[in-house]
Amino acid sequence: MLKEKGALERVVRTWQRLNDLAEEIGVMLELADEAGGGEDSRSLVAEAEGQLNQLRDGVRAVEIERLLGDEGDENGAILEINSGAGGTDAADWAEMLKRMYLRWAERRGFKTKIVDEQLHEEAGIKSCSIEVQGAYAYGYLRAEIGVHRLVRISPFDAQARRHTAFASVAAYPDVEDNIEIEIRMSDLRVDTYRASGAGGQHVNMTDSAVRLTHLPTGTVVACQAERSQHKNKDTAMKMLRAKLYQLEIQKRQEAMDAVNATKKKIEWGSQIRSYVLQPYRMVKDTRTGMEMGDTDRVLDGDITGFMESWLAHKAGGGADAESGAELA
């Protein structure tokens, strides 16, 4: 209830701010007209133009939030990345995606925490799970669900040949503890093991990592971020609740974009977005047709435009997809 009240108050404050800004612009233009075209008039017009840009950005943000109306969109998210076909290149690509999403979250002021990570033997990661806390984090990140394809000159090929690598991304809403998801302990298998990778002598020499398997659904989660096995179990339970909640949403809404409904292989022909670094540089979303030539900017976390374009595409088809691309 308090969360809903806070969300409604935030909407009211936003509209009040935009209305006040629109009124200020109107007053400035009236004063500029009364000034009769002199220096004061030009200065007022310039100030009004600056505030008009602020108003346009504010309205655009409200329009995007209107597209984030599905159940769970306003929640934080659990993001999962898994390397696919491509060997070491795929593992390296999965780590590049991890950095991209961490940078995206940082740009938006979201808090992140890596709760589980499996390193590849040579380089990169096999998989990782990231907790992302911020308003509408899941609403945005569900636009990333699917297979991501990278084409580049492989840094792991002594002959410097071009390679293609794949990694998959999944997202689940980070549900609050008051969501009624029944998890019976008799339905769980709890495994403990030693954490891998960096983490200190204590972490690597005790069975502090926890893996939970929900036997009725086959859902598996793991956490090794904390020194305490108890804390890792609590985080894993939170992740499991999020996944089971997402499964319930899929049953009710028949969400075709949910990762468990697609069952696509992480390989050729199933990608939602291609990141080409060689022989040319281009990032293209295969669902909306949106393209961006500055690949460094995208890999540094500037992906909100792709997310918003997909949201517009999902809401209204081709025409809205084009408007979403223009918003980016």
| The pTM of the whole model exceeds 0.85 | no
Q: Are strands 271-276 and 146-153 parallel, antiparallel or unpaired?
A: parallel
- Say if 23 falls within a structural domain: yes
Residues in contact with 235: Cβ distance below 8 Å, sequence separation at least 6, in sequence order: 115, 131, 223, 225, 226
Quote the pLDDT of residue 254: 57
| 101 and 165 part of one domain | yes
- Say if 25 falls within a structural domain: yes
Cα–Cα distance measured from residue 93 to residue 154, given in angstroms and rounded to the nearest whole number: 10
Among 17, 46, 67, give the residue marking a domain's end: 67
| 191 and 222 part of one domain | yes
| 90 and 161 part of one domain | yes
Choose among 179, 181, 145, 167: nearest CA to 255.
Answer: 145
Neighbours of 306 (CB within 10 A): 26
| DSSP string across 295-311 | HHHHHTT--HHHHHHHH
| 112 and 197 part of one domain | no
Cα–Cα distance measured from residue 103 to residue 92, given in angstroms and rounded to the nearest whole number: 17
Choose among 170, 177, 174: nearest CA to 135.
Answer: 174
Fill in the amino acid letter for 98: K
- Say if 258 falls within a structural domain: no
Among 45, 67, 89, give the residue marking a domain's end: 67
| 268 and 146 part of one domain | yes
Q: Are strands 146-153 and 76-83 parallel, antiparallel or unpaired?
A: unpaired
Quote the pLDDT of residue 2: 63
Cα–Cα distance measured from residue 275 to residue 285, given in angstroms and rounded to the nearest whole number: 9
- Say if 180 falls within a structural domain: no
CA distances from 286 to 49, 100, 187, 283 (A): 36, 19, 40, 10
Cα–Cα distance measured from residue 213 to residue 186, given in angstroms and rounded to the nearest whole number: 11
Question: Under a CB-based contact definition with an 8 Å cutoff, are residues 328 and 309 in contact?
Answer: yes
- Say if 213 falls within a structural domain: yes
Please give the tally of structural domains in the chain.
3
CATH number at residue 299: 3.30.70.1660
**E strand or H helix at 16:** helix 2-35
C-alpha distance across the termini of the chain, in Å: 34
| 52 and 99 part of one domain | no
Fill in the amino acid letter for 283: V
Q: Are strands 111-119 and 146-153 parallel, antiparallel or unpaired?
A: unpaired
For 49, the 3-state DSSP assignment is: helix
Place of tokens 């954490």: 195
| 63 and 82 part of one domain | no
By the 10 Å C-beta count (0-12 exposed, 13-18 middle, 19+ buried), 274 is classed as: middle
Paired tokens of 95 = 């780590």
Among 67, 85, 104, give the residue marking a domain's end: 67
Q: What is the mean pLDDT of each run of 10 residues along the chain (328 residues)?
A: 69 86 88 79 86 84 81 90 91 97 97 95 94 94 94 92 93 71 88 72 68 93 90 91 82 50 54 94 96 97 95 69 38
| 83 and 160 part of one domain | yes
- Say if 175 falls within a structural domain: no
- Say if 126 falls within a structural domain: yes
Cα–Cα distance measured from residue 80 to residue 138, given in angstroms and rounded to the nearest whole number: 12
CATH number at residue 203: 3.30.160.20
Quote the pLDDT of residue 169: 95
Query: Which structural domain range is residue 132 located in?
Result: 76-169+264-327
Choose among 70, 139, 130, 71: nearest CA to 106.
Answer: 130
Fill in the amino acid letter for 57: D
| 162 and 269 part of one domain | yes
DSSP 74: T
| 213 and 321 part of one domain | no
Cα–Cα distance measured from residue 274 to residue 270, given in angstroms and rounded to the nearest whole number: 10
Cα–Cα distance measured from residue 41 to residue 96, given in angstroms and rounded to the nearest whole number: 51
| 15 and 41 part of one domain | yes
| 129 and 20 part of one domain | no
- Say if 259 falls within a structural domain: no
